Structure 1
């Protein structure tokens, strides 16, 4: 893995992905040999929002949609296994540690509550786009995997709390037969699911160990129900964990690349080990 992270401020069509000030700050900080501290970068980011109107203690959301969208665009350019993704997570966490400004956005504290971040993330969850151009689809798939690796890292670090998202991604990849074997779509979805095990799995298994038979509201039962291949109860439960473990191994044999095969088998092995060490009856 190269230490240098090659980032672009604009996409191949020339459209701006990241505002210049944010890009310049992050492009320096995310290099692994950067001497700039996370605290320094958080302080620099905190100075970028506009000042509230005279006498006001609230800000509009426009700047923050641009900020988070730009940061997500940066994450989509960083390979999912690269340490620069960890640096980006540290930055978001550092922002939550800044002193309370007394300013709110959508009734959320700046910066403690990371206002608008959840809404910005939701805009990226509708599934990867589809292109008939192979090279373009590859870029789309890479960005999708990298975005979810970033999400999983943020959740694993306790920065964001999207409890349903990991189950949705695991369900999409492992509880449906929607992708044909040896397809790039199968590889993409399998790698995406595996990143949630890699970066958020320890939290999932501790949650499962603490509450193996959760009581769910009707809404949660609907949201967390199984896919067409899984017939157990909704939510995170031991039988579903075992099903996912088995399916990672089964789907690994259908992949188009060694990369997808290896990460799927690694996810299965992690889940097996955690089952033996964290879920084994006492």
Structure 2
């Protein structure tokens, strides 16, 4: 073609293909951000203009598919918006350069999906304006591997073969300026530009990307990903059940061996505690003795406390980590700790109502005959503080967490035993629960940490599970907390926080949907909490709970499940949350 004043070229490829590096070298620019890690730097469309051989060349640096935080759907929408706007302005692309790294493994499924999507964006009529440039040759020991990779793709019509047959050129880029400029010069000889397929389709569908060939292709590909992930989840669950069965068999065998060992002379007997005629090796024996002797409940409290104390060599023997050393606690705090610990123990012999009664008996009632109201002093502060210290160490998916919730419900169900100075009833109003849970939530402080320790991640996820349980049971108003957590996990996308989002914030957000998807969906239908300003930068819609946001959250779980940083365990969590959302919205 005759020299043109303006030459517009789009540079396209997956994240890490070297698009920004190509543009930088061609334009002799050093101020463009280049990604060298797993995170994508080009998260918006940028362009650089320079002169070459009498032509004014504009290179359009597009964000890569397989981006760290933006989904392929977001990237497609971004590209669609750009090409639609330029089409309306009468600006067409003279050429497109597709960069493909050649140093990796053999042809894989993700590359084939991206190639199909790329073809749907272009349309066959645009293939003769495409240059496929292979990159990263410098990372190979020799050219043999790269040549084999290139030839394999050229021989397959579902990759590059059909494109080459219709005029696409396949070249090698040697990662230097001369190589980049020579590739660009090839565009000068291309035929006059025509609209891309997606530009024509967007004009016919009023800009609805989902109705374009590329949009339908992406929807089909995502459907395949979801189906595969769900198959993987089912397989993992079957393996887990098999492993649990094997563990149970081993535990049963261990008990048999221990029983045989205890029958041998000189076998070490468990620590026991004597009281009068009874000798107790465990909680159940102590409970049986208490029932047999018709001992009052306060005695059972003392019995449990002493039995637990007798099995502790030091404060470190407690099954939970506490903020203060057990030996340095006040007497009441020690007793609260012992009651909670014994109740949550796998071998505990007291029920939730009994544990609630024991805790209530520790409250400094000293009822006045004239009915005057008493101040709770520091008791409630000590109780809730210790209770939540322990609760966030309980796996929210286990029976222990359920038991903790049953204890709080049992406390609320006690007959009114005291009226506090501000008029609240003990325990029906659960005084100060909200205050101390919120304080514990705020103390987590994980949003300010560059790297979150595994222990802190585990506790944050469990705290969200605890908040969800308390909220479902109307023990705590936690829906603002839910929005805050969902925002952190599903609506933020910073390169610096990639690992924290995948490993901590997103799983914590998932707990709300796993445990309370029905309630959240109902609130979305009701457009609840519209006054909340809690939202991340990835969400551009309305505040509060709403159905549009629900759909966005659901799509984010699918994206996260397919993220390269997601382990099998995390993938299972994300898909479990998405499945729960699918179930309630059907």
The partner residue of 1:34 within 343, 348, 351 is 348
CA contact (8 A) 1:145 1:188 kept: yes
CA contact (8 A) 1:129 1:140 kept: no
CA contact (8 A) 2:517 2:584 kept: no
Aligned to 1:10: 322
CA contact (8 A) 1:173 1:193 kept: yes
Q: Is 2:459 aligned against 1:120?
A: no
| Match runs of 1:162-241 below 5 Å | 162-178=478-494, 180=496, 183-209=499-525, 211=526, 213-214=527-528, 221=531, 223-241=532-550
The partner residue of 1:242 within 540, 551, 566 is 551
Residues 102, 251 of structure 1: alpha-carbon distance in 2 compared, 3 angstrom cutoff: same
Which one has the largest radius of gyration?
2
The partner residue of 2:382 within 66, 73, 92 is 66
- Give the SS at the match of 2:355: helix
CA RMSD after TM alignment: 3.0
- Give the SS at the match of 2:393: coil
| Match runs of 1:143-158 below 5 Å | 143-158=459-474
Structure 1, gaps ≥5 residues long: 277-282
Deviations 1:147-177 (A, max 9, x none): 2211111112222222311111111111111
- Give the SS at the match of 2:543: coil
- Between the aligned partners of 1:137 and 1:185, the Cα distance in structure 2 is 13
Deviations 1:93-133 (A, max 9, x none): 11111111242254321100110111101112336345989
The partner residue of 1:260 within 570, 574, 579 is 570
Identify, as 1 or 2, the structure richer in strand.
2
- Between the aligned partners of 1:78 and 1:159, the Cα distance in structure 2 is 18
CA contact (8 A) 2:419 2:426 kept: yes
Structure 2, gaps ≥5 residues long: 1-243, 249-317
Structure number with higher relative contact order (C-alpha < 8 Å, ≥ 6 residues apart): 1
TM-score by length of 1: 0.82
- Give the SS at the match of 1:58: coil
Aligned to 1:43: 357
- Between the aligned partners of 1:132 and 1:118, the Cα distance in structure 2 is 25
TM-score by length of 2: 0.41
